[in-house]
């Protein structure tokens, strides 16, 4: 499984307003990469984290590899969303996109690529990398209602695919 992660979206997941400090952005990126690397060691998966560089980046796209994680900084004038969309088209359904950006989510889902909201992914990896946490499987609701049967009670294909990916995390 290959994760394509919207870096700053995941970095700011669950925070709002005053909590979104601009103080030590480099330090926050490093801590995020450390957490992702710890998760990657446990689950043996590939990860690519895409960060915005469109306002203050380089003329060319920056690529790096730290702690087993591929890092991409979009070039000056290009948003990370565009890089993620390009990667989704290249990877196809073999990838899983981690973002809370509506436009990227809709684009990915149109190409049958699973999307996990940043907040859910962050909570899930936090459960997995903390040694004191329990196994942490997400309780999955039954796919059909308790009384009624038939396709009207079945989850959509998109929702079933998302739950399948979440259970693999």
**Cβ contacts of 149 within 8 Å, gap of 6 or more:** none
Residue 47 in contact with residue 36, Cβ under 8 Å? yes
Whole-structure pTM value: 0.74
Band the pLDDT of 4: cuts 50, 70, 90. Answer: very high
pLDDT of residue 41: 87
Could you tell me which residues are beta bridge partners of residue 4?
Answer: 48, 97
- Fold classification of 2-168 (topology level): Rossmann fold (3.40.50)
Model pLDDT for residues 10-54, shown as the tens digit of each residue: 888 867 555 555 567 788 889 989 999 988 888 888 999 998 875
Q: What are the strands, taking DSSP E only, across the chain?
A: 2-6, 46-51, 62-66, 69-73, 95-98, 114-116
Per-domain residue ranges of the chain = 2-168
d(CA 138, CA 117): 14
């Amino acid at each position: 499984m290959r994760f394509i992660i919207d870096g700053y979206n995941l970095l700011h997941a669950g925070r709002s307003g005053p909590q979104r400090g601009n103080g030590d952005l480099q330090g926050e990126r490093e801590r995020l990469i450390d957490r992702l690397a710890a998760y990657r060691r446990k689950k043996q998966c590939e990860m690519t984290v895409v960060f915005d560089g469109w306002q203050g980046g380089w003329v060319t796209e920056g690529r790096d590899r730290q702690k087993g994680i591929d890092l991409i900084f979009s070039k000056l004038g290009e948003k990370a969303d565009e890089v993620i969309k390009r990667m989704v088209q290249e990877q196809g359904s073999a990838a899983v996109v981690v973002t809370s950006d509506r436009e990227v989510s809709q684009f990915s889902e149109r190409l049958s690529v699973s999307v996990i909201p940043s907040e859910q992914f962050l909570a899930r990896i936090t459960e997995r990398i903390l040694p004191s946490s329990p196994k942490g499987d997400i309780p999955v609701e039954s796919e059909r209602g308790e009384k009624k049967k038939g396709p009207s009670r079945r989850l959509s294909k998109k929702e079933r695919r998302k739950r399948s990916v979440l259970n693999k995390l």
